[in-house]
Chains A and B, each alone.
Chain A
Amino acid sequence: MSRHQPGSAFTNQAPPVHFPHWRGRVYAILGLLVALGVAMIFTTAVGSVQIPFSTTWQILLSKLPLVQVTPTWPGTLETIILEIRLPRVVLAGLVGGALSLAGATYQGLFRNPLADPYLIGVAQGAALGAVVGFLLPSPWHNMGFGIIPLLAFVGALISTAIVYTLARVGKTLPVTTLILAGVALGALLGSVVSYLIISSGEKMHGIIFWLMGSFSLSQWSEVKVVLPYVVVGVVVILLYARPLNVMQLDEEQAQQLGINVERLKLILLAAATLITAAAVSFVGTIGFVGIIIPHAVRLIWGPDHRFLLPLSVLSGAIFLILADVIARTVLAPMEIPIGVITALVGAPFFLYLLRRRRRIIF
């Protein structure tokens, strides 16, 4: 420790190597963007039906506006690639990115490494809505739009609203009461869902499959609905990355540094909950992504949210796209629920993290 000299004396040391650190992380973001594109193309080429890669490539190319490729492939292959696989890959990317970002946001807001996007009852609310949707009689299902995602979304929003109302103390939203209220309501809703499942008869199988999360039967119409919610939510959260850094100090200090803590909590919670609800409503509750990916990113690239957040989005998207490929090809034509894949990968990774506690990562 050098001694302070009176007056303004600058040592002639230059500021240390911060810029390269940032540069490295920026490169990482770019790298992951490229990786995402590559992953999407490759996973579109893989499926339970064998399609040569060159054909896939040509089909994808032919859809680009200015490219001219003469079709030499049967229409069914094009249908499979463009109407069945591609929406699925895109949706997996969106959901993976959304859940990872929501998880990172919750972990940052609550300053708690165990936070995940389902902490405050979103998943259970969506599950309840979806199960109700499943149990509705036929006429409800013929309305031209999906009744299940709609009810799941509504359920997610209602349960979040309830938790928020329960947890509010005057004008503030204490973090611990929020978590407690979320866990309590989640448990209550979960038991209702369990009861409904038991009494659902032949639909039980479909419901359980949905709850474990699945990208099968994804359509472009679903992607179109999920996309705006996720994009808006992601943009909002990314913009608040720097204040989220400052929030890692306790709330008093953050306030003293000029952060309007209550407003920030509200905005970030709303955005994170929105993208989680949108993701879960169409796809079911996929576990581990929201909690593991942010930790992995933190371990590799550090806790600075300006990089942590975008890297989480990209990593989560790639992870889920790859997990989905595994889910649909390993036991074709049967599909493994994607929650199983993420748990199989996530659980050992979690244990690995625990073993590395020597190097504190949170």
Chain B
Amino acid sequence: MQDVCLGYGRKVVLKDINFRVMPGEMVGLIGPNGCGKSTIIRALSRIISPHSGKILLDGKDVSRVPRRDLARLLGVVPQMPLLPSVFTAFEVVLMGRNPHLGLFQYEGPRELAITWRAMEKTGTHSLAERRVSELSGGEIQSLLMARVLAQETKAILLDEPTANLDIGRQVEILDLIRDLCRENSLAVLAALHDLNLASQYCDRLVLINNGRIQAEGTPREVITPRNIKEVYGAEHCVYTHPINGLPTVLLKAGNSQSADMEERGA
């Protein structure tokens, strides 16, 4: 079970992208703003098609698989999706069951139970009756996590899943993702802004810069001072985490062009 990505380019936004995600593995996609992380995610979920090259999921070419089957294999947590404001949280998460329902089938008790459990796991079950229009950004992101859980796929793509969350929830959600990844042997690809989170949680990282893969490998291999300087223009930020030895990026005022450090705000 693998996401296999062979070379592709789109209006020459990205070229020669090749990487693999194995089941049970969490791969982080990092890079500066606008480098194309979302584009890769969309290509993987077949929203856009590659100019050249192929995308294989579980050995099958993604562009050939019927959409519903694709949705059973691959779930996506989008970055800033449009959600209908009148639906309740529960109903939105319930939509995650769609790929598993036949064309004219309706949601039965099993679907409701799965949905409910997904919401419990993400801590959103207390929101179930509330309308989407009443929820905060962070709550919505947790909701999207729940939806993709309810979708019960073999692979998950995440586009900035923690952008609006506070530190506590970020850790919660990423812990959850990693646990699920290990427990259920999911292949997970997450586009992350925050280098530290990427370093802590991902087994491997793919660093995109200037339309190409700049570096690929374990966090230690990828988050190096040289890479950081080349890609982000920030110097002398890479340190080692005191507890687990993974690379950590710390700010120092006076470092010019620290464009990569998204505020991990409260």
Do A and B touch, yes or no (CB under 8 Å, in the complex)? yes
Q: Which residues of A contact B (CB under 8 A)?
A: 1-4, 6-11, 13, 15-18, 111, 239-240, 242-243, 245-246, 248-250, 252-253, 255-260, 298, 302-304, 306, 360-362
| Cross-chain contact B87 with A15 (CB below 8 angstroms) | no
Q: How far is the CA of A16 from the CA of B117 in the complex (A)?
A: 12
B167 surroundings in chain A (CB, below 8 A): none
Residue of B nearest to A304 (CB): B91
Pick the contact of A4: B104, B121, B133, B139 (CB < 8 A): B121
Q: How far is the CA of A360 from the CA of B83 in the complex (A)?
A: 14
| Cross-chain contact A360 with B133 (CB below 8 angstroms) | yes
| Cross-chain contact B103 with A239 (CB below 8 angstroms) | yes
B229 surroundings in chain A (CB, below 8 A): none
| Cross-chain contact A257 with B133 (CB below 8 angstroms) | no
Q: How far is the CA of A18 from the CA of B111 in the complex (A)?
A: 12
Residue of B nearest to A253 (CB): B81
- A-contact bits for B82-115, CB 8 A (1 contact / 0 none): 1111110011100110110101111100001100
B106 surroundings in chain A (CB, below 8 A): 242, 306
Q: How far is the CA of A243 from the CA of B66 in the complex (A)?
A: 16
Q: How far is the CB of A338 from chain B (nearest CB, A)?
A: 31
Q: How far is the CA of A9 from the CA of B117 in the complex (A)?
A: 9
Known: A3-B172, A257-B71, A302-B86. 10 other contacts (CB 8 A): A1-B124, A6-B175, A16-B90, A242-B98, A242-B101, A243-B103, A250-B81, A255-B47, A303-B87, A361-B86
Q: How far is the CB of B139 from chain A (nearest CB, A)?
A: 8
Per DSSP, chain A at the interface is loop
Q: How far is the CB of B99 from chain A (nearest CB, A)?
A: 4
Q: Known A11-B125, A245-B91; judge A255-B98 contact (CB<8 A).
A: no
Pick the contact of A303: B84, B151, B172 (CB < 8 A): B84
| Cross-chain contact A258 with B121 (CB below 8 angstroms) | no
Residue of A nearest to B101 (CB): A242
| Cross-chain contact A258 with B82 (CB below 8 angstroms) | no
Q: How far is the CA of A360 from the CA of B133 in the complex (A)?
A: 8
Residue of A nearest to B131 (CB): A360
Closest 8 CB pairs of A and B: A258-B71, A258-B99, A248-B84, A258-B68, A250-B82, A256-B76, A15-B116, A4-B123
Q: Is B122 an interface residue, CB under 8 A from the partner?
A: yes
Pick the contact of B67: A8, A239, A255 (CB < 8 A): A255
10 interchain pairs (CB within 8 A)? Answer: A1-B124, A1-B127, A8-B121, A250-B81, A257-B95, A260-B66, A298-B86, A303-B84, A360-B131, A360-B133
Pick the contact of B82: A1, A7, A10, A249 (CB < 8 A): A249
| Cross-chain contact B129 with A256 (CB below 8 angstroms) | no
Q: How far is the CA of A362 from the CA of B78 in the complex (A)?
A: 22
Q: How far is the CA of A239 from the CA of B106 in the complex (A)?
A: 10
- A-contact bits for B113-150, CB 8 A (1 contact / 0 none): 10011001111111111010100000100000000000
Residue of A nearest to B84 (CB): A248
Residue of B nearest to A15 (CB): B116
| Cross-chain contact A246 with B95 (CB below 8 angstroms) | yes
| Cross-chain contact A243 with B98 (CB below 8 angstroms) | yes
| Cross-chain contact B122 with A249 (CB below 8 angstroms) | no
A242 surroundings in chain B (CB, below 8 A): 98, 101, 105-107
B107 surroundings in chain A (CB, below 8 A): 242
Q: How far is the CA of A242 from the CA of B126 in the complex (A)?
A: 24
| Cross-chain contact A257 with B98 (CB below 8 angstroms) | yes
Q: How far is the CB of B231 from chain A (nearest CB, A)?
A: 28
Q: Known A11-B120, A257-B151, A258-B67; judge A4-B75 contact (CB<8 A).
A: no
Q: How far is the CA of A3 from the CA of B104 in the complex (A)?
A: 37
Most buried by B among A18, A257, A303: A257
Q: How far is the CA of A119 from the CA of B75 in the complex (A)?
A: 35
A298 surroundings in chain B (CB, below 8 A): 86
Q: Is B179 an interface residue, CB under 8 A from the partner?
A: yes
| Cross-chain contact A259 with B78 (CB below 8 angstroms) | no
Q: How far is the CB of A360 from chain B (nearest CB, A)?
A: 6
Residue of A nearest to B69 (CB): A258
Q: Is B213 an interface residue, CB under 8 A from the partner?
A: no
Q: How far is the CA of A10 from the CA of B122 in the complex (A)?
A: 11
- A-contact bits for B23-37, CB 8 A (1 contact / 0 none): 000000000000000
| Cross-chain contact A16 with B123 (CB below 8 angstroms) | no
Q: Known A11-B120, A249-B84, A258-B99; judge A6-B179 contact (CB<8 A).
A: yes
Q: How far is the CA of A246 from the CA of B98 in the complex (A)?
A: 8
Q: How far is the CB of A259 from chain B (nearest CB, A)?
A: 7
Q: How far is the CA of A31 from the CA of B208 in the complex (A)?
A: 60
Q: Is B215 an interface residue, CB under 8 A from the partner?
A: no
Q: Known A10-B117, A245-B91; judge A360-B86 contact (CB<8 A).
A: yes
Q: How far is the CB of A300 from chain B (nearest CB, A)?
A: 13
Q: Is B10 an interface residue, CB under 8 A from the partner?
A: no
A306 surroundings in chain B (CB, below 8 A): 106
Q: How far is the CB of B192 from chain A (nearest CB, A)?
A: 19
| Cross-chain contact A260 with B175 (CB below 8 angstroms) | no
Q: How far is the CB of B104 from chain A (nearest CB, A)?
A: 5
Q: How far is the CA of A269 from the CA of B220 in the complex (A)?
A: 54
| Cross-chain contact B123 with A2 (CB below 8 angstroms) | yes
Q: How far is the CA of A302 from the CA of B67 in the complex (A)?
A: 29
Q: How far is the CB of A295 from chain B (nearest CB, A)?
A: 12
B83 surroundings in chain A (CB, below 8 A): 249
Q: How far is the CB of B167 from chain A (nearest CB, A)?
A: 13
